[in-house]
Amino acid sequence: MTETSLPKGRNSIDQDQFLTILSREEAMARFEAALFPRELSIEQRKLAETLGCTLARDIFSPIDVPPFDRSNVDGFAVRSTDLASAAEFAPVQLTLNEEVIACGTAPTHPVLPKTATPIATGGPIPRGADAVVMVEHTQLLGVRAIEVRRAASPGQFVSFAGSDIARGEALLRAGTAIGSREIGMLAACGIAEVPVARSVRVAVISTGDELVQPGEALRPAAIYDSNGAIVAAAIDENGGNAVFWGAVPDDEQQLEATMQRALAESDMVVLSGGTSKGAGDVTHRIIARLGQPGIICHGVALKPGKPLCLAVCKDKPVVILPGFPTSAMFTFHDMIVPILRRMAALPPRADATVTAKVPVRIASELGRTEFVMVSLVDGADGLIAYPSGKGSGAITSFSQADGFLRIDALADQMPAGSEAEVTLFTPHVRVPDLVIVGSHCTGLDLVTAPLAHAGLTVRSIAVGSLGGLAAAKRGECDLAPIHLLDDKTGTYNTPFLSAGLELVPGWRRMQGIVFKKGDQRFEGLSAEQAVRAAIADPSCIMVNRNHGAGTRILIDRLLGEARPDGYWNQPRSHNAVAAAVAQGRADWGMTIAPVARASDLGFIPFAEEHYDFAVVTARKHRPAVQAFLSALASHQTRAALESAGFRPA
């Protein structure tokens, strides 16, 4: 089926645009113009072989279903007017006609006035009859007559011809995914051959010397190839048929050979990686040799995802996704899925977007379309989208994220309270049973483990104590873990509660100074002495914490006005502090005892923090909250917390 021929000018791509970064919209427009309209490849398939295929054309019913007026019950075909006066104390007698209409039997006798014909469920209504009475509502009088004691309305227990589907009525529309239901509908209409879209064969290639396939041993400095697997699966989820060609080293000849073969054998090629400065020129050169018109755009004003490269070679799309897994997924879902679905004759994915409210302001770079990973939780009135893992290229940030939202290139922020459209990675929202928003602690995993094993989904979003309290006040979470010291009263947490929140004690955790075991500058000192010694030694480098962290308040107390070397290194977690000291990038920092112990570092206790839970009273009755509270109080959890180095309250 050819829609039209190629649009004019698609082979005359202006060379200058290669040097220009295009906006997302301009890049999409040029890519689509270079690919569509295009011939849709259709095949006729036997009905039984169409499961999971996409219907390529609208299908209209060739017959009426049912094809005749049909009885819905076992009983007698009658003329309803004969029974108009029938009642419990005024039975009407009807003479039985000389035939029984079974399923598949065409009637031969008309139903004349004052007669009835026995009929089975599914039998065709004979001429003259306009209703059926159920056998249960009649009484036999000998063998040739029945007595009826209730009236029948015209059409009673009759399915009229074409009442399911009328001849010529649209049965299924092009673009429908064929499932068992659709197969049943087609069968009911007698359709044995179905026009389906030929699946789009997509070659998936990873590039990079550092890539190792899952299942193989990880060499030093190597990483597992996650893009290959995730891109291939996402292609299959969107009507494509992915063929993984493996990871190719950063070698121009090898890469070109693979891309040439992949292009010849596929309808589309999706490569990831190799987009950084020097490597980008290599792929650029290869694509120029793959076929016309070549590169449509190289560099799109996206954040992240700027190195995205879109090309068309021999009329097939060739896409180079950024190497960072999250960037690869943002650009794939946002810009490649629509192209793939259109090639596969699938309609735009309506089930892959939801609207959600953004609870906090999200800053954004002006001039670039920005993608922000979000976690979805149930709010008081609709879904809430929490930004998570912003700017991180880590594949692990997918575990707490449901999808992403897009901030327009012309906006420098998305204000708190905005309604945003969220593109889901997997098209069903899994709103968690328990939502924890606040300060993160490794002890939390020990409390939520039994919930997860019991089948409850837990979402924990680390935004710090104050952020958690704000979320709890807005009713966006079930509980907020907090560790806030009130300077005036010298007490933890309680002074920060407001109406609607109640404090459930969690555990105590010792904050202290960490240093490499055996470092004589710190061994045997108190925390105050250790910090004084560190400040006095100009070769001593510290690692700080981010502003707003409970730990930072303690560090500031010890430092006073001093700003030693390393002060501006401000990671956001206890573990990052321990890693900096363990790896020799810093000599001292402050972290919690269990983390210091896990990293085998020297530890000087400083202050015991109270890590408690601000529980939203209105949500306390929820089963998942109850499960959390009983897990917290259980012997097993308390023992697990203790052996990890915490002191349960």
| Residues forming the site for ligand AMP (CB under 6 A) | 206, 208, 210-211, 223, 225-228, 272-276, 279, 322-325
Residue owning tokens 């009475």: 133
Among 466, 456, 472, 513, CA closest to 486: 466
Residue of minimal Cβ distance to ligand AMP: 323
Return the number of the residue (176 or 272) whose C-beta is nearest Mg ion: 272
Residue of minimal Cβ distance to Mg ion: 208
82 interacts with, out of ligand AMP, Mg ion, none, CB within 5 to 8 A per kind: none
Return the number of the residue (277 or 453) whose C-beta is nearest Mg ion: 277
Return the number of the residue (322 or 566) whose C-beta is nearest ligand AMP: 322
223-282 positions binding Mg ion, by CB under 5 A: 273
Question: For Mg ion, what does the binding mask look like between residues 202 and 221, x meaning CB under 5 A?
Answer: ------x-------------
Before 338, cis peptide (omega within 30)? no
Q: How far are the Cα atoms of 49, 266, 310, 315, 334 from residue 6, in angstroms, in the given order?
A: 32, 20, 19, 10, 25
Q: How far are the Cα atoms of 55, 57, 177, 527 from residue 195, in angstroms, in the given order?
A: 6, 7, 12, 76
115 interacts with, out of Mg ion, ligand AMP, none, CB within 5 to 8 A per kind: none
Q: Does 124 bind Mg ion (CB under 5 A)?
A: no
CA separation for the pair 174, 66 (Å, rounded): 24
Q: How far are the Cα atoms of 127, 196, 490 from residue 63, in angstroms, in the given order?
A: 21, 21, 82
258 interacts with, out of Mg ion, ligand AMP, none, CB within 5 to 8 A per kind: none
Question: For Mg ion, what does the binding mask look like between residues 272 and 311, x meaning CB under 5 A?
Answer: -x--------------------------------------
Q: Angle of helix 623-633 relative to helix 635-643, nearest 10 degrees?
A: 60
Q: Name the minimum Å distance from CB 228 to ligand AMP.
A: 6
Return the number of the residue (151 or 321) whose C-beta is nearest Mg ion: 321
Tokens of 534: 């560190």
H helix or E strand, kind and range, residue 623 = helix 623-633
Q: Name the minimum Å distance from CB 624 to ligand AMP.
A: 34
Q: Is 50 exposed, middle or buried (0-12, 13-18, 19+ CB in 10 A)?
A: buried
Q: Name the minimum Å distance from CB 395 to ligand AMP.
A: 7
CA separation for the pair 519, 533 (Å, rounded): 12
468 interacts with, out of ligand AMP, Mg ion, none, CB within 5 to 8 A per kind: none
| SS3 label, residue 237 | helix
Among 335, 314, 140, CA closest to 234: 335
- In total, the chain counts a number of residues equal to 649
CA separation for the pair 256, 284 (Å, rounded): 11
CA separation for the pair 2, 560 (Å, rounded): 76
634 interacts with, out of Mg ion, ligand AMP, none, CB within 5 to 8 A per kind: none
228 interacts with, out of ligand AMP, Mg ion, none, CB within 5 to 8 A per kind: ligand AMP
Q: Name the minimum Å distance from CB 393 to ligand AMP.
A: 6
Q: How far are the Cα atoms of 85, 273, 301, 469 from residue 20, in angstroms, in the given order?
A: 87, 20, 10, 46
| The residue type at 638 | R
Q: Does 322 bind Mg ion (CB under 5 A)?
A: no
Q: Name the minimum Å distance from CB 208 to ligand AMP.
A: 5
Return the number of the residue (232 or 541) whose C-beta is nearest ligand AMP: 232
Q: Name the minimum Å distance from CB 635 to ligand AMP.
A: 43
Q: Are 83 and 116 in contact (CB under 8 A)?
A: no
Q: Does 589 bind Mg ion (CB under 5 A)?
A: no
Return the number of the residue (101 or 300) whose C-beta is nearest ligand AMP: 300
Return the number of the residue (40 or 302) whose C-beta is nearest ligand AMP: 302
Return the number of the residue (156 or 275) whose C-beta is nearest ligand AMP: 275
Return the number of the residue (240 or 325) whose C-beta is nearest ligand AMP: 325
Return the number of the residue (50 or 283) whose C-beta is nearest ligand AMP: 283
283 interacts with, out of Mg ion, ligand AMP, none, CB within 5 to 8 A per kind: none
227 interacts with, out of Mg ion, ligand AMP, none, CB within 5 to 8 A per kind: ligand AMP
Residue 609's DSSP bridge partners are 509
Q: Under the rule (CB under 5 A), what is the footprint of Mg ion?
A: 208, 273
